[in-house]
Amino acid sequence: MQAFQERDVDAIADLVRDDFAEEYTQSGERIRGKHNYLSVFENISAMPSVLDYCFTLCGDLAIAERTFEYGGNRSYNTAISEMEDGKVKRARQCFAAHFEAPQWRARWVERM
């Protein structure tokens, strides 16, 4: 969470595998590969503030429940991550509210 809030690209790069994949269930997007994930991360125009979070790790499964704030609006999120060799291999982000896939990240994602 610290690396995310500080926009520490190098720290984030150390946390994910080269074959990393992440899905945003509400917007129907999938990001494949560390390069694409880091490109999305680096191009987020305004990082949300993390208001609260709970993180649980059991074996190779990690669950994060988070409350974010984007420009005065709250967003509730659960992330389910599969770990391999101490790094995140796959993540699925589930947001409480539906949202449309933003056009700015289309070149790094595929539609599900």
Place of tokens 């589930």: 94
Question: Is the pLDDT reported for residue 71 higher than 80?
Answer: yes
Q: Average pLDDT in the 86-100 region?
A: 90
- CB contact set of 110 (below 8 Å; sequence gap of 6+): 29, 30, 32
Q: What is the pTM of this model?
A: 0.85
**pLDDT at position 98:** 77
pLDDT digit string, tens, across residues 16-61: 999 999 999 889 999 999 999 999 999 988 888 899 999 999 999 9
- 37-46: long-range contacts (C-beta < 8 A, 24 or more apart)? 37/108, 38/9, 38/12, 38/13, 39/108, 40/105, 40/108, 40/109, 41/7, 41/9, 41/12, 42/9, 43/104, 43/105, 45/104, 46/70, 46/71
Residue 111 is assigned to a structural domain of this protein? no
Q: Which of 80, 53, 75, 79 is closest to 66 using CA atoms?
A: 53
Residue 110 inside a domain? The answer is no
Q: How many domains is the chain built from?
A: 1
Structural domain span for residue 65: 2-105
CATH code for the domain in which residue 54 is found: 3.10.450.50
User: Residue 31's pLDDT is what?
Assistant: 97
Residue 56 lies in a domain: yes
